[in-house]
Amino acid sequence: MARVRMSDVAAHAGVSTATVSMVLNGVNTTRISAETQQRVREAASV
């Protein structure tokens, strides 16, 4: 099974790799909308 990279998650969620990193690591996510956080988490779990 191929590894999923942050760039893959970012492309699927329509966000930057920095946003993916912040959401998945729980870093200062107050700047990121709840909707965007949910999209990133869903893209990462696929």
On whether residue 10 sits in a domain, the answer given is: yes
On whether residue 25 sits in a domain, the answer given is: yes
Note down the domain range covering 32: 6-45
On whether residue 40 sits in a domain, the answer given is: yes
Number of domains the chain is built from: 1
What was the pLDDT predicted at 28? Answer: 79
What was the pLDDT predicted at 39? Answer: 97
What was the pLDDT predicted at 46? Answer: 73
What was the pLDDT predicted at 16? Answer: 97
What was the pLDDT predicted at 29? Answer: 75
What was the pLDDT predicted at 14? Answer: 97
On whether residue 1 sits in a domain, the answer given is: no
Residues in the chain: 46
Reading the chain (46 residues) residue by residue, the pLDDT tens digits are 688 899 999 999 999 999 999 999 998 778 899 999 999 999 999 7
DSSP letter string, 1-46? -PPPPHHHHHHHHTS-HHHHHHHHHT-SGGGS-HHHHHHHHHHHH-
CB neighbour class for 32 (10 Å; exposed up to 12, middle 13-18, buried from 19): middle
